[in-house]
Chain A
Amino acid sequence: MERKRVLMQGNEACVEGAIAAGMRFYAGYPITPSTEIAELCALRLPQVGGRFIQMEDELASMAAVLGASATGVKAMTATSGPGFSLKQENIGYGCMAEIPCVIVDVQRSGPSTGLPTSPSQGDYMQARWGTHGDHPVIALSPSSVLETYKLIVRAFNLSEKYRTPVIFLMDEIVGHMREGVELPDPNDLIINKRHISYHDGANKQCYYVPEGKYVPAMKPFGQGERYNITGLAHDVSGFPTNDPAVAEALYTRLMEKIDRNLDDIIRTEQVFMDDADTAVVCFGGTARAAMSAVLQAREAGMKVGMFRPITVWPFPEKQLRERLPGLKRILTVEHNYGQMVLEVRRVAEGKVPVDFLGRLDGTVISPDDILGALRRTEV
């Protein structure tokens, strides 16, 4: 079948991709620059039998999403910086109670109300460490409209597979950008369903995980299996515990279910990296200017490549480390004061010098800015 080419905004692609992934519940609160996601969900979800609710605040939106997901519905919310901060406590609850859901953060310039309509990537660290306590995180970041569509499907798939909230880290550039796209046939998409099989359904061991596995498989609420969910440290039966050994086993499993599956979770885009002596490391909307700069640098005879984490958390440590032997320098470009660069420097371990180009004024980083930085750091 011939696919139709359509002009679509990143925020729209986010909604259409989420619906294709099976999202049927959205709870949100209006905030620039993510509001189109709520508006389109309000229009589109009823057409596919889904449910949209505008909650009284950001905290309630996150809570409603978790409540809905506990009944087995794929659920999503979207917000921007200030709202992302407000959602954090319940995101941690989702990590602890292992309730799948997707949280879209269309980043804008902060802190506080900041520059509400201006692009930024200042929530990179908040996506990792926003909620309190040690917790697992998966965060994905798209850099085009088409990728937004495909990647939000993957966000739902990972969320269901690992039973954990997934952060979909967009930015104002991608959210508000319009591109002509040819969407994939929804029938060609791989869609994960929630795994609900490997225990006997008794009312005792809802968080039971067999040897060698990391993810529990209880049925959703209302499907005949009575169990307890809590944000307190709990045993396999879902009840609170103060037993240090039981608590440690839980916390370790929560971290290991991500750490032991990095190859499955992590995706990167690497362009011209095979012969590159310089890598531009960037993510999300910033990668568009970076790609343009890399192409221009190549034309000028510079051996520059682009290394783009698509999975931004966990950071693609192994993938970047594999590239270190060929590199003489790394330029990390981010729309912030320097956040991912801390990860890049940690991985580079002083073996490769790491420079940083950032921006805080709410304007877009241009290819020329990046090209200039590449020339300045040229040895």
Chain B
Amino acid sequence: MLHIEHLTKTYGDKRAVDDLTLHIAPGEIYGFIGHNGAGKTTTLKCIAGILRFDTGEIVIDGHSVKEAPLECKKRIAYIPDNPDLYDFMTGIQFLNFIADIFGIDAGTREERIAKYAASFELTEDLAQPIAAYSHGMKQKLAMIAAWLHAPKLILMDEPFVGLDPKASHLLKTMMRAFCDEGGAIFFSTHVLEVAEKLCDKVAIIKNGRLVKAGSMEEVKGDESLESVFLELED
């Protein structure tokens, strides 16, 4: 589903991502962990086509991000760590905007909005302007928007920040269900317990370089993910 080959991205003289190679298959929940400023967000933004990268290649579902960025974007959904949405729209206007961009017909969007908004308990608030939403509500709206067009790959940057325990549990369930149906998820997190329980595979990044990647068992062995991470960081 997602092939990252020798990805390198620099900001001025700083190498934010350095020769990163990762492969994510359909059905996998792939966790991406690392210290602050390790290059997680930069990697996710490069995959989402927000940032241009210097060298390397990213292929999503057979399409190159460099050669066919729009084809790639049709297949993905991206949720940033701080979802700054359109404050001048209401929740429902934003969801309809996303649905229009992806060409979702009226019946399908109605059904999906009703389903996901009910799941995240956001239905009543959809008529409110986004400017009046809390961080958590914006996060939920961004999740609904992500699931709305049935993407093949979902990229999430710290998705659990700002969510209440119920929404957090729901998100985990939805992530599992999405991947069980053949989708793939690549997400960054600092919550190692969640990563340990939820992820099929995990990658650890340090100063832009991949230090360890593989299935959860391969990476952590008999230890906890936290101790492996702390050892690698030291």
Do A and B assemble together? Answer: no
What is B's interface to A at a CB cutoff of 8 Å? none
What is A's interface to B at a CB cutoff of 8 Å? none
